[in-house]
Each structure stands twice: as C-alpha cells, then as structure tokens.
Structure 1
Amino acid sequence: MTSWIWSHFKTIMEDSRKAECQICHNIISRGKDASRLTLSSLRRHSNNVHSIKNPKEAEEGSSSKCASDSRQPTIVETLAKKQKLDLASPRAIKITRCISEMIAADFMPYSTVENRGFRRILDLLEPRYNIPSRAYISQVGIPKLYEDTKAYIYKLSSNAIGGICSTTDIWSSRECDSFMSVTANFFAYNKHGEIKRYTPVLSCKEMTRSHNSENILLQMTQLEKDWAVKFDAVLSDNGANVVKALADGQYLNIRCMAHTINLCVTHSLACQDTVKDVITATRSIVGHYHRSYRDARLLSECQRRMEFPEHKLIQDVCTRWNSTYYMLERFLEQREVINDMSYRGISNTLTSSQWRLAACVVKVLKIFVTATNELSCDSATASLILPTIMNLINRVDEFTVDPEITHLEELLEDLKSQLQRRFVRPVKGVRQNRDAYFKNRKTWEYCAVSSALDPRIKHYWCSKSESSEVEELCLSYVTSNINVSGAESSESNGESSSTSKTEDSVAFPRDHGRQREDRRQKDRLSVVVSTLRQYLAEKPISKKRCPAKFWEDRCSKDCPHLVKLALKFLSCPATSVESERLFSSAGNIVSPLRNRLTPKNVEVLTFLHVNLHKLDFLN
C-alpha cells in the first residue's frame, strides 16, 4: 500500500536513495543502502518542518488525549453510582410522587408497588431507586399528594373571579358506605394569565349518620368553613332531603335540568298504551338476545351475512337517562336483521305499525337526548336552562303538526303538559307545584340573568315583554353589585363617615371624602349601565365562542365589575353531572381488587383521581 508520505515527496530518478520535498524542494536522504531504504527521515521532515502528520495517527492522538484528559473517578464516586437513593433525596421524592399519582389517577391498587413486573421496570429505569412498600405509599405518598392537591385548589378558589357555585349528590358504594360529594364551579386566572373555568372536587365525605336534611345541611356548612367559601348557588337532584336541607340553609337551589327533563320523558312514555306496548315488546326481544348466547352469535352471523353494522342490541335501564331512546334507535338500525331472525323462528319481531310508531318515538325523543347532552357538557351553564325549555316546547308544538309524526297525540300532549307544568314561571303570591323546577322567583331570575349575560344567548329566547323585564333585572343586579363594591372599597380605604369625629372645616368638610367616593361610584355605575345596554342591543355571538373570553376581551379594563358579575352567573352549571361522574369514578375505585378500602381512603382516592385529571396533574 502506498504511504501517505508520497503525497508530499517524490523520488529522484538519478538517485533512488533520495527524495525531494514538493513543498520546500529540499533533498532528503532515505539511507545509504539502497536495499534498506526507510521513510523515517521523510516523516520527520514533514512533521518538524511543515507540521504535517499521518491523518490516522492524528485522529488516534486526539482520542487518546481526550481519554487521558478525562479524570478517573474516585472510589467514592464509583460507589455512589451504585448506592441506593435516599427516599428524602429530590429524585426519589419525584419518583415516589409520580407513583402516587399513577395509583390515584389510573384506578390502581396499592399493591402495584409489590408487583414483580412493576419492580422490574423501575429497576431498569432507575436501579438506585429503593421502591417503597405499599404501606409507605398508602400512609405517606398518597396523603402527601392529597394535601398538596387540596392546597392548590384552596389557592385557586380563594382567587375566584365573581363567585363560586357547587353541585352535590349522595351515593352508596358496593360496600354499602354512603358518600356525599360537593364540587365547585368558578372562574380564575391560570398560570398564563387567562380566565379559565375550574370544576374541582371539594369533598367526597362519608355520611355515617342518617341522610336527613339536618345532617346534609351540617355537612354543607362545615365544608364551607373548611374551604373558606360561600356558594352563590347549589345544583342538586330532586331528592326531598337535599332540597329541604338547602332551603333550610337559605341556599339558592337550582335543580338538575337533565334529571327534570328525564322525569318529563319517563312520565310521557307511560301515558300512551301503544307506545308502552312497543317499548315492552322491544325490551323483551333485546332481553332475549342478551340472555341467549347461541342466538346472540346467530345474530352476529346474520349481521355479517346481510352486511349490517355488527352492533349489539342495547337494553334500556330505568335509572339511566335516555336509555329507552338508545334501545329503540339501535333496534331500528337492525330492523332487517331482526325480521330475518324472526322469519327463521329464532326470535319475535314487531308488527309493521309498531315499527312505524317506534320510528316516530325515536324522532321525538331525539330532541330531548340532544338537549340532555348539551346541558351535560363541561361548558354548559345555567344560561342554557330557560332557552332550552322554550325550544323544547316549541319543538313539541312542531311535532303535533308534522305529517311524519303520526299516532303520538297522547305522548306529545303529555310532553307539552309536563314541560309547562314543571317549568312554570313563578308568580308572586301563587304557590308553586310540588314538582315545579323553579320553587321561587329568585331561582327563575338567576337563570334569566345568567342567560342575558351569556353573549351567545342574551334575551333573544324570550318575548318582548320578558326581554325588557330581563334587561331591568340585569340593571338591578348591576346596581346592587356596584353599590356593595363601592361600600366595601370605601370601608377598606378608611373613608367611613362614622369613624371620623374631627371638627368641621370650611375648606374641607367632614364628609368631603364620602362625597368624592359617591361621585366616583355614580360615574362607575353610569359607565357600567351604558356598557350593559350597548351589550344587550348587539346580536349574540357564535355559540362556538367562549363567553368568559368574550367578557375578558371586552370589559376587563373598562368595566371589571361587569366582568365579575357576568362570570358570577356563568359559573353555575345546568346539571349535577359533575357529581354523577364523580361517583362513576368512585365505583371504579371500590373494585374487587380494592374491596377492603376504608371510607377515608375511598374519599382521598376519589378526590385525587378526579382532580389530578381536571387540573392536569397540578400543571
């Protein structure tokens, strides 16, 4: 192989023992014996005179230099890399916290830390970490995470904008332990300085006493003291004990809108015999396929053969909202398959008139399912209650003249009657029905003002007379809110007229400061009122836009009092779904693998599971 040196030298033809440098043209001897010539002198000349080295040797030299420059670790440092982490070290604390979060957020039992597969993964990722026992996780890790989460929510709620509303419900676990849940709903600034709606769980405490109104009220008042909050409104179902407790405590109680709609639909479905017969026959056929494995398998084969969606039939549950609608809808989807199975003698089917009636029932019930879904979403507020009532009544009226909806006169008549009776507007001096949604005028006014302050709705849902009344209601709420705020600010500034007993002055009267504050308050009130009137005169914004973002962009600088008032009414939800979902999570926590959890542990794990997901693991 030709040496790299010959790229810088060439042999002299007259004397092969010598070579000429192509850079400086010097003649370098390669030795005296022509049979034993070397390249040492040529390399020496290139290195010493021109600083040119063999490229391979240069690379090896640099790598060896780096290796020689790197300091050899000491024995103490070498042993430290193999030494187990102390549980109090920052890295160990972070890993332990992540394990606690995983157990709480993913419905995992405490014994997860003792599972062989879990320990193998941690040994691979961090061999120095000393995996704690299940006792340490349950007695130290989870309680520490609970206290940190509670402190975070306490700080959020103390900085709430406008006010705080809540939802509450009572639930019993499979171990027959009763729990009462309370969730909060409010707006606050997030870490990016933006207004965001928060719905954390405040409590899921065990109820060891009787579920009477006195004990429920005692638990609500104690919770307000523990969290240093005062609820502007409380959402609940129609349970008599909860309703009485909130009435005795003088809480503004708003019923769960979705629950009331479901009561209307359930009552109306039972008032027409032909509809009852269709539902009973459908329920019987669906139940047959749920009980018979052989026929269910034949149904799946028939679906594949006829190229129908391979969907299972849905059985309705009396306690589950809209389950009758979903049962009939799926049954109509599989109509040809059901008829084919009946033709083969496997099961029964409906008559042609019953099929037509089922299709009409599904079309009517669909608007109630849509309303329930809209009211139950995370962004739904009490501002949707009154517009939903009006739209449902109007849609039922449209169905009565719809030529495609036939033989449902009794059902439609009862639906309209139920909606009008349950959601009747309170009249002063007239006692409301026992099952009325609005128990007093204050509840109706709260929902009306909430709708007016929602820029997606305003007062376009009501008549002209009601529109002017709602506008006056908004102005009265604004006026009272500004007056209260002005009084609080003057007291905080030490300008109360009753606290000063100094002598009168000609240049500076005794009530000079009070007069100045009154003028400022009047100016502030006039600005807010004019802004509110201008807002109500404008058209509603798109339903896809965020109401809180609208108020933040429009009035956060000019009319902060109006923003607080709007967010106070927009923080109230339309349903108690938050508490219902909470108990769904609690049902998953009390599983066969965790059937020995104490009620206190159920409370802590439910609190953490819901709040960690809602608060993005506390950011």
Structure 2
Amino acid sequence: MCKRKKGPQYQISPKQQTLTQVYDKATKFKIDDKRQTKITHLVAKMVCVDGQPLNLVENRGFKELIEHLEPRFTMPTRKTLSNVIVPAMYESTVKSVEVQLQDAEFVAVTTDLWTSVANTDFLSVTAHYVTKEFVLHHVCLEVIPFPEVSHTAENISKFITSLLEKWGLLQKVVAIVRDNARNLVAGLELSPFQHTSCLAHTLQLVLKEGFLNNKIINNLVSSSKKIVGHFKHSARATKVLKTCQITAGVVQHRLIHDEPTRWNTTLHMFKRLHEQKKAIVLACAELNIPELSNSLWTLMENVIPILEVFDSVTTHISSDHVTVAEVIPLTNLIENELQKPAPAGSGLQGLKNDLLSSIKIRFKDLENSQILTSATLLDPRFKAAPFKDEAKCEAAKKKTVGGSIRSTNS
C-alpha cells in the first residue's frame, strides 16, 4: 500500500493593505479627530501631573517618540499647550472638584504661606474630606500668589476666607491645619475657623530648640560636615574612600551632607557616617586628615536612636492617610521615648531633657484642643486611652457629644 505524500506547506501571507488604508496611515489626524484630542489631552496631563516643562512638546526626542508611536498625530505647540489646552483642562477639573465638594458634608483644610526662590509669595490651600463610602480624599484647591504686599493678620484672614468662600466651603470647614508662623496663626485667629498647628512643623521647632541649638550636638554636626565636605569636594579623597570601603568590607555608599532647612538630613548624615566608620577611619589615616574623635563617634551612635524616633513619626504623619486623631498618641509616644534614661556616661541625658522640655512647652495644650481631643475620642483605635488627664478627657467627651467642633473655639 503506497502512502500519500504530503504536499508542500504554504504560509498564508497577510492580507495586502488597500490604498485607502495606506493613505489613512500617512494622513495626519484632523484637529477634531477623537484620537488627536485624546493624545493631546494625555500629553497635557503628563506635563501637569509629572511637573514637566511646557517646552517638552518642542523637544526633539519626545517628538520623535510620538511620531514613531503615532505618525498621524500633530504635536501641539508650546503656546497652544499653555494658552488653550492646559487652561481648558483646569476649568474642567475645577468643575469636577466643585461637584465632589458639594457632596462633602464636612471639610478639613491645610494651608501654608511660603516664598519661592524668585521671592514670590504663595498661599496653598488643600481640602480633605470623607465620602459617604468612608473614603478619604485630598484636593489641592489653590497654589496662588499672595497679592498683598504686607503679610498682616488681617490680609491673611481675608484672603483665606475669600478663597474658601469661592469654593463654597465657608459652612463646611471644621478645622484648618497650619504651620506656626505668627502672622498665619494671628490671621486664623481673626477668622471664624478652628485651627491647629502642623505636627511635623512643630516637631521641627522642637528639634531646633532642643537638639540643633545644643553645643555638644553642634560640635558633632560641624565636625561631621567637615568630614563629609572633604570627601565630597576632593576627587582623590573620593577614590581613596572607595578603596578603603572595599578593604573594610562596607557598602560603597556615598556620604550624605545635611541641609540646614531639613533636620532629618542631619540624621541621614549621621547614619551614613556610622555605616562607613571603618572606611572613613582608614581613609582619613591614608589622607592624613583629622577624623572624628572616639567620643564623637560614640555620641553619634547614641544620638541616632533619639533622632530616629522623630524621623519615624515625621515619616508616618507625612503619608496621606493620617488624621489629627494621631497627634496626641504620637506626641505621647515621643515623650515616653525621651523619658527613658540615656546610656550611662553618654552625656545625652541633658539633651533628652531639653527635647522633653520643648515637647511639653510646644504641646502643653493638646488635651484642651477640641479638634484634637474629639478626633482622638472618635477614632476607634484610640478612644480615651491616650489621655493623661482624666478630667480633661471627661470634658472633651461632653464637648464632643454635646456640641459642634465648628462652633467652639479651642
């Protein structure tokens, strides 16, 4: 019986494109084409959301990328982007936010008044509210130039009030969180709104008073900065340090310099120096430059855990799910850590006492603030547990049950 031979295998070639299809792929979208509009919107959104410069649409590399992905798309000009597309997106977003805020029964606000590097004063206002489904939302309403020349309490009060009125929030605001600037505090005192200080900003003031102004710590900071500065600004020293890192078997990390306006960078500088101690000692000996004394190394090692308490709290409260209900518990946590005795002979007990004293001064009225006490009592994680003064706790319970936060001045 003979077997039938299989015929040759043929591959089916893709269907040849029509002239119309070829023409369509080479033809630019019309200005009102939905695909042109969609891509234009996404480009503008990327500029806004990612903080990209407006001239991105003029950059050669970006234009080549878009041309490759969609040859039919026509890139908008920078002028069109800034004068037409972005303003239209802003108006659309404003209307969407206004609808969201209409459904919010209560709104909390955070605000800050600051000066840019170009010496322009800006005021920011952010609204925070919970939906009926108990989902927490945050909406930045304004980041706009402060028009008044003088930052008087009256000008600040009028400006913030007018902004909240513009957004229809005058009757919905239950509290405003602000920094400790005297003019901003005084301005909100003149307004009808409850207000409380930002925990992170207050902790920064505590550290400035109790830590950065300490003579022993100042010596440690200045000596550490000299070490870091030498390795940062000398190519030879950097190479020697890398060699010593390999010899000492430590991770090849760069040293960190602190920033005067951010206290936690001092902690980061200390931690990196402590991590690189073996390599730094070897490098300083080879370069014949002074290193930290044994007492300063020991002081640094003992200081790091103290600063880490403040750093962990600051990092925690910087997230977008934290509420003022945590102010009293977190402040108590810091106090409890500072009340623990310092290691014998470390010389840090005085520092701990200074920080604790500053904490007690800065946060002395926590249990008298109806904003904070009501939030703590109503939070099922805490209720009355964090209170130290039973009488104040009972008074807070009565105010919380019997009255509106908005109608009572703390």
With normalisation by structure 2, the TM-score equals 0.87
> Would you say 1:168 and 2:115 are equivalent positions?
no
CA contact (8 A) 1:271 1:414 kept: no
- C-alpha separation between the residues in 1 aligned to 2:394 and 2:207? 33
CA contact (8 A) 1:262 1:322 kept: no
What is the match of residue 454 of structure 1?
379
The alpha-carbon deviation at position 225 of structure 1 amounts to: 1.8
The alpha-carbon deviation at position 101 of structure 1 amounts to: 0.8
1:178-234 residue CA offsets vs partner (Å, 9 max, x unmatched):
221111111125xxxx43211111001112322332332222112112211132211
The alpha-carbon deviation at position 404 of structure 1 amounts to: 5.5
C-alpha distance 376-106 of structure 1, shift in aligned 2 (>3 A): closer
Out of 233, 256, 265, which is 2:175 matched to?
233
1:126-166 residue CA offsets vs partner (Å, 9 max, x unmatched):
333333222221121111111122222222122124x1111
What is the match of residue 85 of structure 1?
29
1:560-609 residue CA offsets vs partner (Å, 9 max, x unmatched):
xxxxx9xx9xxxxxxxxxxxxxxxxxxxxxxxxxxxxxxxxxxxxxxxxx
The 5 A counterparts of 1:527-566 are none
The alpha-carbon deviation at position 471 of structure 1 amounts to: 5.2
Out of 250, 258, 265, which is 1:316 matched to?
258
Out of 126, 129, 135, which is 2:79 matched to?
135
- C-alpha separation between the residues in 1 aligned to 2:86 and 2:27? 26
- C-alpha separation between the residues in 2 aligned to 1:269 and 1:306? 32
Letter in 2 for 1:126: E
What is the match of residue 419 of structure 1?
359
The 5 A counterparts of 1:393-472 are 393-398=335-340, 400=341, 402-403=342-343, 406-425=346-365, 441=368, 444-463=369-388, 465-466=390-391, 469-470=392-393
Instruction: State the SS of the aligned residue for 2:129.
Output: strand
> Would you say 1:473 and 2:386 are equivalent positions?
no
The 5 A counterparts of 1:513-528 are none
Out of 132, 136, 151, which is 1:197 matched to?
136
The 5 A counterparts of 1:369-380 are 369-380=311-322
What is the match of residue 235 of structure 2?
293
- Structure with higher Rg: it is 1
CA contact (8 A) 1:272 1:410 kept: no
- C-alpha separation between the residues in 1 aligned to 2:124 and 2:333? 32
- C-alpha separation between the residues in 2 aligned to 1:271 and 1:143? 47
CA contact (8 A) 1:329 1:362 kept: yes
CA contact (8 A) 1:172 1:179 kept: yes
The alpha-carbon deviation at position 342 of structure 1 amounts to: 2.4
CA contact (8 A) 2:108 2:176 kept: yes
The alpha-carbon deviation at position 411 of structure 1 amounts to: 0.9
What is the match of residue 614 of structure 1?
none
> Would you say 1:216 and 2:166 are equivalent positions?
no
> Would you say 1:252 and 2:191 are equivalent positions?
no
1:348-378 residue CA offsets vs partner (Å, 9 max, x unmatched):
2122222212211112222121221222222
- C-alpha separation between the residues in 1 aligned to 2:235 and 2:330? 43
Instruction: State the SS of the aligned residue for 1:232.
Output: strand
- How many residues are treated as equivalent by the alignment? 401
The alpha-carbon deviation at position 244 of structure 1 amounts to: 1.0
1:237-266 residue CA offsets vs partner (Å, 9 max, x unmatched):
111111111111132121111111121122
CA contact (8 A) 1:113 1:132 kept: yes
- C-alpha separation between the residues in 2 aligned to 1:323 and 1:473? 38
C-alpha distance 310-404 of structure 1, shift in aligned 2 (>3 A): farther
The 5 A counterparts of 1:27-46 are none
Instruction: State the SS of the aligned residue for 1:407.
Output: coil
C-alpha distance 270-115 of structure 1, shift in aligned 2 (>3 A): closer
- C-alpha separation between the residues in 2 aligned to 1:145 and 1:346? 61
CA contact (8 A) 2:111 2:176 kept: yes
> Which consecutive aligned stretches of 4+ in structure 1 deviate over 6 angstroms post-superposition?
72-75
What is the match of residue 146 of structure 2?
207
The 5 A counterparts of 1:177-192 are 177-189=120-132
CA contact (8 A) 2:244 2:280 kept: no
The alpha-carbon deviation at position 80 of structure 1 amounts to: 5.7
Letter in 1 for 2:401: V
1:85-116 residue CA offsets vs partner (Å, 9 max, x unmatched):
22122222111111111222233222222333
Structure 1's unaligned 5+ residue stretches are: 8-54, 426-437, 482-564, 569-619
- C-alpha separation between the residues in 1 aligned to 2:26 and 2:258? 60
Letter in 2 for 1:214: E
With normalisation by structure 1, the TM-score equals 0.59
What is the match of residue 23 of structure 1?
none
CA contact (8 A) 1:295 1:346 kept: no
What is the match of residue 158 of structure 1?
102
- C-alpha separation between the residues in 2 aligned to 1:143 and 1:236? 29
C-alpha distance 290-82 of structure 1, shift in aligned 2 (>3 A): closer
The alpha-carbon deviation at position 405 of structure 1 amounts to: 6.9
C-alpha distance 197-405 of structure 1, shift in aligned 2 (>3 A): farther
CA contact (8 A) 2:387 2:393 kept: no
C-alpha distance 359-459 of structure 1, shift in aligned 2 (>3 A): same
- C-alpha separation between the residues in 1 aligned to 2:343 and 2:49? 52
C-alpha distance 413-138 of structure 1, shift in aligned 2 (>3 A): same
Instruction: State the SS of the aligned residue for 1:360.
Output: helix
